[in-house]
A and B are shown apart, each in its own frame.
Chain A
Amino acid sequence: MTSLLGRRHFGCAFCAAAGALTTSCVSDGTTSPGALAPGYRPDAASDEGGLWATMDKAESELKRSRFVVRDAAINRYVGDIACRLGKDHCRDLRLYVIRTPVFNATMAPNGMMQVWTGLLLRVQDEAQLAAVIGHEMAHYLERHTLQRFRDIRAKADLATFLTMGLALAGPIGSVAGLAAQMALLASVFAFSREQERDADRIGSELMARAGFAPGRAADVWEQLIAELAVSTIPAERDPFSATHPDMSERVQNLRALAADKPGGEAAPDRLRLALASLRTTLFQDEIRLRQPARSLVVFDQLRRTIPEDAELAFYTGEVHRLRDQEGDNRLAREAYERAVALPKPPAEAYRSLGLVARRDGDTPTANFAFRRYLDLAPRASDRQIILSYITQTS
């Protein structure tokens, strides 16, 4: 089931007793005086109440979505990071890990937090994941969405707001639905540069307070810039485009913010261990996007923090095999050969090695690899077709 921080409390050591339903504004020095108080729920008749009601409706759709990752351990792990960052706000947050292979996390004004699996593939350590969640949490604590809503309303751009409301009320739960709605949200509720700067500053503070290394925040954006630089979609390539107006500037700001906050943990091993059960799914979903240049950048980035393991080598080979352009067969084969030489190679690495050897006309290697695949996966559901490859060449 969907993990609800508010109901499960995550065993959160930082959580205070549930705050009274109050609109009083408190600040601990990190957030502004107008920031959200723990336990806050707006008056239903207010504009903020209406905004929350819209988000509540969207959330009720999301709860039923088949795209929500239900794995309790994964939810507990990501939720604990949110609780470390959010402290007293822990019980107001409800986490949904969404199986969408796109770098993204969001936090709605009502406490609905989404972490997309594309982000989980890309972060190299726990501090990087905390950086993205902390940034979103800062928007939430500062009620940036409400501010934007009021700005828009002041400009009498009601039609745009209504469009957004209708879209949010529609079905959420697919890549399409979420992407479309997030795009719409981004266009309507795109945070101002000032709000983004505030969120970066507060996010950095939240990280430091929670014991995460704030310096890792800048690295997340640097990694994303490197990935987008090879996108086949021109609008994504240019870091100064309308879609990403200030990513390089943001990296510099985050580095400056982290400079006076030394220490803190990055915890790459803890992240890897916690996400182990989801890792194959993360790789498979990335591969199926068929965005080879971007995938190779992401895998190279992963390779920088950990020595290449068999699974990473295998999926690197898969990117080359599926791209199938000049030189890819050789690179795929090299990657599969690395994979099968490492501990615990997936059986599929042998199957793929067989497929590229078959393309090369290297029948002995192909047949050896196919037989090895069937030895390792005797109940493989494609057994008959693999046997037919061996028979055809014998």
Chain B
Amino acid sequence: MNRILRPITLLALLALVSCAPFMLVPAAQQQDVRGVFTIDVFRPWNRVNPQAAGADQGPTESWTIDGPGLDQLLMLVGVANGDPLLKPVQPATSSQPREPLPPFRAGMAPNEVMELYEATLVRLFQTTLFETRNLRPAKLGDDDGFRFDYAYTAKDNIDRHGLAVGAVRGDRLYVVAFHGPRVHHFPAFRDEVERMIASIRFKAAAK
């Protein structure tokens, strides 16, 4: 009996591990992100497992401490010209086809990238209550880029704040953003996220 059960149990365990919704990102200096840049991680984070999401997520990293509904570090690691910022999974409950998400264009000015980010998240969170502000020049790694703040309310009626720092390198867009509820998670983790973003260093070959 054990001889039969053991391999089945192992297989089941393997399946569970490969489909685990989150994977641990340990605290470490210069943690590699997709071979594109390094980032300092000051505490363990949970990385949303793209395989568990069941669809092509594109060059998107989603990390969280307490859960994506409470805090989400969103990293767009090289969106190509003509691609949307995100490739969201079609909700199982929706049989309605949707308009495609708007694409990134390599020549976009920071204002246009911010508009694109806004239009994308408006669709993702299905809300009209989304505002962007304070677009200003900033560095991402050693690259000249931009940053902005945003605020939104999604279907749970919770007010969230967010910040995004981005740059266009070559023809690709890189954005690191963080958002969470205004009343606790956003202010609680903001300083740490700012230090993480400041630590980002692009790898020499990465474009």
Q: How far is the CA of A288 from the CA of B102 in the complex (A)?
A: 10
Q: Which of B21-29, B44-52, B93-101, B181-189 interfaces with chain A?
A: B93-101
Measured CB to CB, the closest approach of chain B to A260, in angstroms, equals 39
Interface flags, A279-317, vs B, CB<8A=1, else 0 = 000000100111100000000000000000000000000
B137 within 8 A of A: yes
**B126 near A285: Cβ-Cβ < 8 Å:** no
What is the total number of residues of chain B having a CB less than 8 Å from a CB of chain A?
38
- Check A355–B112 contact: CB distance below 8 A: yes
A101: contacting residue among B93, B97, B128, CB under 8 A: B128
- CB-CB under 8 A for A358 and B156, given A288-B119, A290-B99, A385-B136: no
When the two chains form their complex, are residues B137 and A175 in contact, meaning their CB atoms are under 8 A apart? no
Are A322 and B102 within 8 A (Cβ)? Answer: yes
Binary per-residue interface labels of chain A (157-172) against chain B in the complex, 1 for a CB within 8 Å, 0 otherwise? 0000000000000010
> What mask results when residues 368 to 390 of chain A are scored 1 for a CB within 8 Å of chain B, else 0?
00000000000001101110110
Which residue of the partner chain, among A66, A101, A290, contacts B153 with CB atoms under 8 Å? A66
The total of interchain contacts (Cβ-Cβ below 8 angstroms) comes to 88
Residues of chain A lying within 8 A (CB to CB) of residue B141: none
A355:B111 contact, CB within 8 angstroms: yes
> Is the C-beta of A180 less than 8 angstroms from some C-beta in chain B?
yes
How far, in whole Å, are A171 and B126 apart by their CA atoms in the complex?
14
B135 contacts A381, C-beta separation under 8 Å? yes
Q: Are B135 and A324 in contact (CB under 8 A)?
A: no
Q: Which residue of A lies closest to B105 (CB)?
A: A324
Are B119 and A99 interface neighbours, CB within 8 A? no
Partner of A359, one of B107, B115, B153, B157: B107
CB-CB under 8 A for A177 and B99, given A100-B128, A355-B112: no
Binding site for A on B (CB under 8 A): 93-94, 96-102, 105, 107, 109-112, 115, 118-119, 122-123, 126-130, 133-137, 146, 148, 153-157, 159
Please give me the 8 A-B residue pairs with the lowest Cβ-Cβ distance, nearest first: A174-B155, A176-B126, A382-B135, A384-B136, A175-B126, A381-B133, A290-B102, A99-B128
Contacts A65-B157, A171-B157, A384-B135 aside, 20 further interface pairs with beta carbons under 8 A come to A66-B157, A67-B128, A99-B128, A100-B128, A101-B128, A117-B128, A174-B157, A179-B126, A183-B96, A233-B97, A288-B128, A288-B130, A289-B99, A290-B123, A291-B99, A322-B115, A324-B105, A355-B109, A382-B136, A382-B148
